[in-house]
């Protein structure tokens, strides 16, 4: 007779091992802090960072992280995640399912640029820390060479719509203030800009930073793990997804497809009309 999952833990091992929270009757401890001390004291971004990284961000750093969340909150129905949520809202499913539909569209392609950029920035910084004699510009050039050899694009650069994204200017301005005040080093912001500059030099045309690029640099400045970036973006874009899905619900439109019902917008490229052979 097979052993139950519980039998396997009879030697004293625990089922779940977490450093995040301890929940007992009438007691909730988060990263060592009683929840009642956090409620009304920490901001949303401070609570997010505490849960994820284990420490309480200073108010200035927390406002910078919150600015990243605000910047990515919405980009209209052009964004696939927003469009998917709105389309789902016309199909009669529950509201939370509409929101989940939008969130589930986020991944490596749509919503994953910040993670890719952060991974690259951390890797580049690791190389520089391992050999401080290496030239900053040279190491960045080598990383661009590797991306080119692997047929990969530099994440965080370029946008299909914006060539002077207002979010970028504002985020850089906010971050630069914290650099001047000594709250953050500015090393990753400098790195992101050097990647953009060198790519522009190679391409011989204007290359603009996008919101994912500057968001990646800021999150690196705050020592946020790259692997968490898509989750953080989901929390950010989730605000817009909720708003758009709710708005579409109020419109009471039913079954709104991914494109208008026009023959010129959908092309059939399969076999010509054919029929099954008649059976004897």
Q: Where would I find the beta strands (DSSP E) of the chain?
A: 21-24, 27-30, 33-34
Pairing mode of beta strands 27-30, 33-34: antiparallel
Structure tokens at 9: 């833990």
168-194: burial string, b at 16+ Cβ within 10 Å, e else? beebbebbeebbeeebbebbbbebbeb
In the prediction, which pLDDT does 162 show?
66
Beta bridge partners of 209: 157
Structure tokens at 89: 């809202």
pLDDT digits (tens, 9 = 90+) for 80-90: 999 999 999 99
In the prediction, which pLDDT does 1 show?
46
Residue 198 near residue 137 (C-beta atoms within 8 A): yes
Mean per-residue pLDDT for 11-34? 93
Radius of gyration of the CA atoms of the chain, in A: 24
SS3 state of residue 262: coil
Residue 207 near residue 199 (C-beta atoms within 8 A): yes
pLDDT digits (tens, 9 = 90+) for 168-199: 999 999 999 999 999 999 999 999 999 999 99
In the prediction, which pLDDT does 125 show?
97
Q: Is 266 left (phi over 0), alpha (psi -120 to 50) or beta?
A: beta
Angstrom distances, CA of residue 126 to CA of 105, 129, 134: 32, 5, 11
pLDDT digits (tens, 9 = 90+) for 73-112: 999 999 999 999 999 999 999 999 999 999 999 999 999 9
Structure tokens at 120: 């690259």
Q: Which residues, including other chains, have CB under 8 Å from residue 202's CB and lie 6 or more apart?
A: 144
Residues 253, 262: Cα–Cα separation, whole Å: 18
> How many other CB atoms sit within 10 Å of the CB of residue 108?
11
Position 200 pLDDT exceeds 70: yes
pTM of the model: 0.91
Comparing CA positions, the residue from 245, 231, 258 lying closest to residue 111 is: 231
Supply the mean pLDDT for the chain. Answer: 93
């Amino acid at each position: 007779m097979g052993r139950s999952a519980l039998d396997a833990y009879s030697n004293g091992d625990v089922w779940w091992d977490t450093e995040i929270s301890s929940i007992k009757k009438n007691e909730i401890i988060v990263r060592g802090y009683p929840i009642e001390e956090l409620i009304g004291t920490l901001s949303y971004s401070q609570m997010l960072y505490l849960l994820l990284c284990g420490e309480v961000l200073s108010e200035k750093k927390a406002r910078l992280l919150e600015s990243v969340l605000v910047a990515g909150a919405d980009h209209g129905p052009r964004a696939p995640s927003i469009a998917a949520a709105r389309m789902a809202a016309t199909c009669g499913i529950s509201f939370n399912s509409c929101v989940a539909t939008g969130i589930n569209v986020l991944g490596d392609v749509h919503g994953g640029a910040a993670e890719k950029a952060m991974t690259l920035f951390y890797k580049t910084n690791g190389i520089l820390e391992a050999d401080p004699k290496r030239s900053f510009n040279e190491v960045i050039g080598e990383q661009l060479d590797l991306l080119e050899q692997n047929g990969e694009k530099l994440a965080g650069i370029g946008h299909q719509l914006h060539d002077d994204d207002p979010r970028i200017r504002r985020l850089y301005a906010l971050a630069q203030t914290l650099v001047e005040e000594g709250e953050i080093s500015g090393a990753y912001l400098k790195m992101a800009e050097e990647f953009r500059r060198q790519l522009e030099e190679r391409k011989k045309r204007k290359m603009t930073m996008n919101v994912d690029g500057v968001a990646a640099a800021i999150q690196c400045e705050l020592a946020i793990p790259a692997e968490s970036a898509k989750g953080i973006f989901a929390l950010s874009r989730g605000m817009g997804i909720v708003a758009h899905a709710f708005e579409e619900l109020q419109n009471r439109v039913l079954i709104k497809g991914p494109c208008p019902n026009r023959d010129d917008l959908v092309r059939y490229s399969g076999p010509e009309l054919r029929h099954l052979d008649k059976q004897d």
